[in-house]
Structure 1
Amino acid sequence: MYFKLPMSITANNVNTHQQPSTWYLYLIENKLGHLYTGITTSPARRISQHRGDIVGGARALKGKGPLHFRAIFLIGDRSTASQIEYKVKRLSKQKKRAIVKQKVLPKNLCGNLCENLCEDLCRNSQYISPCEYE
């Protein structure tokens, strides 16, 4: 006797896990005045994780609340967001504060990338008011 198994979702050559997503770069300030930099596809979910409302927050922020977004930038794809996150994490506290104050990413952030590409990335990154996610 043979049983016919139902077709899986991926059986029809559609991969539901690789849909294009929008990535954000964010800076969070803790009660000590330290700025934490990260990337995410959902700023609202990520701040909830960091605050301990849901599982998955960064260990570096545990017990250091209240936490507040200070800057959020719409970046685009994950690869670009990861590269920019790496560069921002290496900046001094003063330079990170300048990003928060000026609401723009510095043009010389990308280092090894082509200068024109870097300027395009920084110019096209869209600042989003942190108030939208508080």
Structure 2
Amino acid sequence: MQLTTQTECVDHKWHLYLVQTAKGALYTGITTDVIRRLAEHESGRGAKALRGRGPLTLVFHRAVGDHAHALRLEYRIKQLTRRRKLDLIDQQPLDINAWLVQ
């Protein structure tokens, strides 16, 4: 998934995102600025789990509302199996909550 403008990801709402490492591992996180956070991960200043695991690919992101809701969704996504996370990436649902109850 390519991000082309900052305005599509920087709107002071919280975003849930998934990043894929060079070896295919998936990392789930939340942020208010997806472009900045991806740059931090790529430079090694982000999560330790991603250091030295590049190149990194942003495979999914959605605005999810406030911080509390973003934290709850992040936890729920992290509990999913790898197969289910890959389904999320493949399907790119607009409403993550509705997708989770399927």
The answer to whether TM tops 0.5 is: yes
TM-score normalised per structure 2: 0.81
Q: Are 1:102 and 2:91 matched, yes or no? A: yes
Q: Secondary structure at the match of 1:23?
A: strand
Query: What letter is aligned with 2:68?
Result: S
Superposed displacement of residue 108, structure 1: 1.9
Q: Is 2:43 aligned against 1:28?
A: no
Residue 34 of structure 2 is aligned with which of 43, 53, 69?
A: 43
Name the residue aligned to 1:70. 59
Unaligned stretches of 5+ residues in structure 1: 1-20, 110-134
Q: CA deviation at 1:90?
A: 0.8
1:58 lines up with 2:58 in the alignment: no
Larger radius of gyration between Structure 1 and Structure 2: 1
How many aligned positions are there? 88
Higher relative contact order (CA 8 A, sep 6+): 2
Cα distance in 1 between the residues matched to 2:23 and 2:68: 31
C-alpha separation in 1, matches of 2:100 and 2:24: 25
Q: Partner letter of residue 108 of structure 1?
A: V
Letter in 1 for 2:101: N
Structure 1: distance between partners of 2:45 and 2:26: 19
Q: Tell me, what secondary structure is at the counterpart of 2:28?
A: strand
- Secondary structure class of the residue paired with 2:101: coil
**C-alpha distance in structure 1 between counterparts of 2:63 and 2:30, whole Å:** 10
CA-to-aligned-CA distance 1:17-73 (integer Å, 9 cap, x gap)? xxxx30000000001101100000000100000001xx7300000000000100001
